[in-house]
Structure 1
Amino acid sequence: MNGLRYSFAEQRGMLLALAIFIIMFALYLANHPAGFTPNVVQTAANKGVLLALVAMAQTFVVLTAGIDLSVGMIFILANCLASYLLVGTPVTVALGVGGVLLTGLACGALNGLLVIYGRLQPIVITIATGAVFFGIALWIRPYPGSADGFSAELADALTGKVFGVFPASLLFLIALVLLVWLPFRRSVIGRAVYAVGSSEPAAYMSGVPVMRAKFVAYVLSGLFAAMGGLFMTFFTYSGEASLANGNTYTLSSIAAVVLGGVSLFGGRGSAVGAIFGALAFRAIGDLLFVFDFDPLWQPLFQGVVLLLAVSLGSARLFQVRNRLDLFT
C-alpha cells in the first residue's frame, strides 16, 4: 500500500498533465468542424511533438536544478541550418541531419562547460548563449526560406501518417522515449542527474560525478532542442530566424515542464511528464482556436489553466517542513 501511494505521489504531476490533455483534446475533437479524423490528429500531433521535443530538452537541465533559456534559440538555429543542409540525395540529406544534430550537441556542450567552469547561474549563461545562437541563426537565414532542391521526402515521412492513420511524428517521439529517455533514466549518469538536482553538495560528498552529470544534461538538452528545430523544418519546409518563436518555445517549454510535474527545485519528474505537459499545453491552445477565442484573451486563459494545474501539482509543498521530504 505504501509503495502504491509513493508511486502515485511520484507520478502525480504526470498523471495530472495526462488528465488535462485527455480532457482538452477530447473537447477539441468534439468541437472541431472536421471531427475526429486522421488529418486532424496528424496536425495536432505534429504541433505537439514540436513543443514536446523542446520540453524534453528543458527537462534534462531542470532535473539538475538549473534552467536553460537558450533551448528556443538552439531550436531556431537548427531550423535555419536544416533549411540549407537538407538538400540533394538521401546521403547528403542524412549528412545534413547529422550536421544539425551535431550543432545542437555543440551548443549544449558549450552551455554545460560555461555553467560548470564559469561558475555562474545557468539562467545568466543561457541567456547570453541564446543571444549568440540567435545571432548565428539570423546570419545563416536573414530571410525566411529554404535552399533550392530542399528534400521533402524525409519531411513527409516524419510528419505524415503511418498506414494512413497513425501520426509518424508521434511514433518518432515514442521511439525517443524508449531508446533514449528510459535507458538514460536507468543509467548511472541518469541517476547522478537526479542526485545533483536533489542536493548537489550531498551528491558530491557521496562520490556522484556532479560535473559529468551536469555536462551530459546540457548536451542532451542541446540535442533535443536541435531535434525540435529539425521537425520545424520538416513541418514548414523552410527556416526562419524568428526571435518571437524562439522566446515562445523557451517559455512554453518551461510551462510544459512544470505542468508535467517536473520540479523546478530539481531532482524530481520525468521527460514523459514533460511530454504530456507539452501536449496538454498545445491542446489548450487548439481548444481556444476552435472556440474562436479573441487572441488577446488566449494568453490570459492559458495562464489561468497553467496556474491552476501548477498549484494542484505543488500542493504537497505546503505539507512538508523540510525540502528533503520531497525526495523521500
Structure 2
Amino acid sequence: MENGTDYINATAESDEYGIDLAFILCWCVSGAVGVIGNLIMSLTILLNRDLRNVTNILIVNAAVGDIAFILIMLPLNIYTWVTWVWPFGDFLCKLTNMVTMYSMTTSAYSFCAISYDRYMVVTKPLEHRSIRTRRVSCYIITIDFIGLLSVIPTYFMAYEEDNQCNYLDHGTTMAQIHEVTVFICLYVIPLFVIGFNYIRIAKVLVLSIRRQLCERSNAAIAKQQSKRIRLTKSLLLIIIIYGLCMLPYYIANIGLQFLTDEIALQRFYNIIMIPSVLCYVLATLVNPVMMFVLSQKYRHHVLRCRPTFFRPNLMNTRANGSNRLTLTRRTTGTQF
C-alpha cells in the first residue's frame, strides 16, 4: 500500500515538474519574441517620421517597460522557479519588483492616454494637430512620473532574506490591501477611463455619420471619417486583448494573499499563478503583433527592412543602374 502511495506521489510530482517545465519553456519563447517584437516596433516607429504620431509614441513608451520587464524580471524569476533559491542579493530583488510595477503602471496609463488622445483627435482635430508635440511630451512625462512614483513603495517593501526574494509578507492584511489597491489603481481605474473615453468617441462618430448622411458630404470627408473609425476600432481591440491577458495576473496575485492553507496555496500556485505569469508575458506581445496585423503602414516599413535575399525585386534590378536608382528613391523617399 505504501509502495502504491509512493508511486502515485512520485507520478504527481513528475507531472507537476513536466507542467512547470512546459510553462518555463513558453516563458522563454514568449519573452524572446516579446523583446524582438517590441524592439523592432520601437525602432520602426522612431526611425520613420510618418509613424511618429502621438498614439505610436505612447505605444513605444509602454514597450520600453515591457522590454525592461522581460530582460530583467523574467530570467531571474525563471532561475528562482527552477532552483527555489534567490542568489542575486537584495538590490536585484528590489529591482525586479520595481521593474514589474513600473511596466504595469506605464502600460496601463499609456493606454489611458491613447484613449484620451483618440477622443481629442475625433472631437478637435485641428486644435489637437497644432499642439500634438507638446501634448505627447506632456503625456510621456506624466506617465513616467506616475510609473516612478509607483515603484517607491516597492523599493521599501521588497527585501532578500535567507536566499529568498520577498515582496509581501504572505497573508498579512498589508499584503491583501496592497494587491487589491494595485488591482484597482492599475486595472479597474484605467479600464474605466478607457471605457469612458471610447464611449464618448462612439457618440461623436455616430453623430458625425448621421450628419454626413443628412448633408451628403463629399467623398474625401467620408473617407477620412472611415479611417478614424477603423483606427479607433483597432486601438480598442489592442486594449481589450491586453486587458484580458493581464486580468489573470492581477487575480492570481490577489488570490495568493487570501489563501492560508499550505496545500491549497501550493495547488493554487501551480494551477493559476504560474500560467498567469505566462499571460503577463503574452501581454507584452500584444502591441507589436497587433501593430503588424492592423497597421498597413507599419507593416510596409517592417517588410521593407527585410534582408536583401528576401527581396527578389532588388536582386532583379542589379543589372540595371537606372532601375536601381529608381528603386532607391522609391524606398527612401516615399511619404505616406
Q: Answer whether TM exceeds 0.5 for this pair.
A: no
* TM-score category, normalised to shorter length: 0.3 to 0.5
**Higher Rg of the two aligned structures:** 2
Give the structure-2-normalised TM-score.
0.32
Give the structure-1-normalised TM-score.
0.33
